[in-house]
Structure 1
């Protein structure tokens, strides 16, 4: 496959006298759009200033594929879970199998899990059942929870409040594009918010992000989906996460280097990643 980004000098960043790098906190390297150039996309990310990335499982088979990719790449880590679209198909055996993967050294989180009442590919009761299972598992194990929520803000908050019983949650709202109210309530519970490439073109998300604290933000691509400007219409890939960081920096009135440093620091703190030497 022809490279979707032009050849140029590799990106590097320096903040407060120290070399820093980006982390793509959420993408799907196991998916078919990467089959032709997966290794090359990971290499392009390194040239784009991305030192680490977390590839996300959407079911048991997907999670096994993600782990295999991470085993082949030192800078790739994994979260395992069941996407709400597939909740109706999630058996007890699959849930147990996913729990068994949490001990793998490359697995750093639980997800992506949550509620999607926009597409409704699974009935609400199945989505709630599976989400509740993984939220409880996160609270029990201390593994960070990676949450997908769409058209289900109140139901998401209600379930999380029920499960946490007043204790802080360790987790992140992935691909955050919700309301200021959702942001405020999730921050109060202890969650981070992961900002996607949508922030490069969505006016409503820009308005919300302007008011968010940088010390609670991550950045992500959600590749192969949701390519940011100026790559809209292309397959997304981890190298493009710099465009999200640029947009966040502009909205918060800080330097790109500060956003790179702080979001990577946040991601490492949440998922327990070691800084790349």
Structure 2
């Protein structure tokens, strides 16, 4: 059994064969957590989860690239029994336009993202559910805010698709966070040392489907069943068995998301 802790099978890229994609995963012992990124996808994740007795779950939240955070809307969705976490939300400081990148992100945008981040933290505290945090080129601000607003003594949640430094990883580990890695690690060696450093007990697997397919599926739409390749690569990097990676990361996901 493997749990894909962060995927988006509710996204439009799966409109033609969503049921087949889910069945393919479940038939192969792969459970999934479909992460919301805005109002529509959060609702869709819940609707999809309710079609299955077990193995398909949802999170609700707003990606930092989205505007107009509706606190009451997400708070209502968060109470659904199929919602296992709040997210994905966080900080996105990456600037796609290379001509604008040198100027950096504006302070007003940082403040906007911070306010939305704090809104998600408040919801998570009120419904007692963990976080799914998105962070890109913003780890200093993320860590600073988390230190001032940590949820509780147990793990506050998951850093999705971790791309920070070793120092960032150490600081987040001290706060009790879990980390996910996806298909990127099958063709990019930049995070091998961090994966070796983070205890297996703090690691989860993800696909982030339909994005970032692992080798040998690069260029194709990603889907939960491809998490097998990521698990195999993690086992290789950490020099442990594939079975151990699957068993421990699955138990980690069950613990953080309170799955039975």
> Secondary structure of the residue that 2:3 maps to in structure 1?
strand
User: Quick check: 1:155 aligned with 2:141?
Assistant: yes
- Residues 29-55 of structure 1 show CA distances to partners (whole Å, capped at 9, x for unaligned) of 1211100110111111124331x1100
Tell me the TM-score normalized by structure 1. Answer: 0.86
Q: 2:3 aligns with which of 18, 23, 38?
A: 23
2:37, 2:63 within 8 Å by CA — same for their partners in 1? yes
User: Quick check: 1:259 aligned with 2:239?
Assistant: no
Alpha-carbon offset, residue 73 of structure 1: 2.2
Alpha-carbon offset, residue 164 of structure 1: 1.6
Alpha-carbon offset, residue 230 of structure 1: 1.0
Q: How has the CA–CA distance of structure 1 residues 165 and 35 changed in structure 2, closer, same or farther, with 3 Å as cutoff?
A: closer
Q: Tell me the residue number matched to 1:37.
A: 17
Alpha-carbon distance in structure 2 between the residues aligned to 1:190 and 1:165? 11
User: Quick check: 1:133 aligned with 2:144?
Assistant: no
Alpha-carbon distance in structure 1 between the residues aligned to 2:141 and 2:122? 16
Alpha-carbon distance in structure 2 between the residues aligned to 1:63 and 1:168? 25
Q: How has the CA–CA distance of structure 1 residues 48 and 132 changed in structure 2, closer, same or farther, with 3 Å as cutoff?
A: same
2:49, 2:57 within 8 Å by CA — same for their partners in 1? yes
Alpha-carbon distance in structure 2 between the residues aligned to 1:61 and 1:165? 27
* Structure 1 runs of 4+ with >6 Å offset: none
Q: Tell me the residue number matched to 1:95.
A: 71
Alpha-carbon offset, residue 141 of structure 1: 3.4
Q: How has the CA–CA distance of structure 1 residues 161 and 140 changed in structure 2, closer, same or farther, with 3 Å as cutoff?
A: farther
Structure 1 residue ranges without an equivalent (≥5): 1-20
Structure 2 residue ranges without an equivalent (≥5): 96-104
RMSD: 1.7
Q: How has the CA–CA distance of structure 1 residues 204 and 48 changed in structure 2, closer, same or farther, with 3 Å as cutoff?
A: same
Alpha-carbon distance in structure 1 between the residues aligned to 2:154 and 2:27? 37
User: Quick check: 1:70 aligned with 2:49?
Assistant: yes
Q: How has the CA–CA distance of structure 1 residues 30 and 67 changed in structure 2, closer, same or farther, with 3 Å as cutoff?
A: same
What is the aligned length?
249
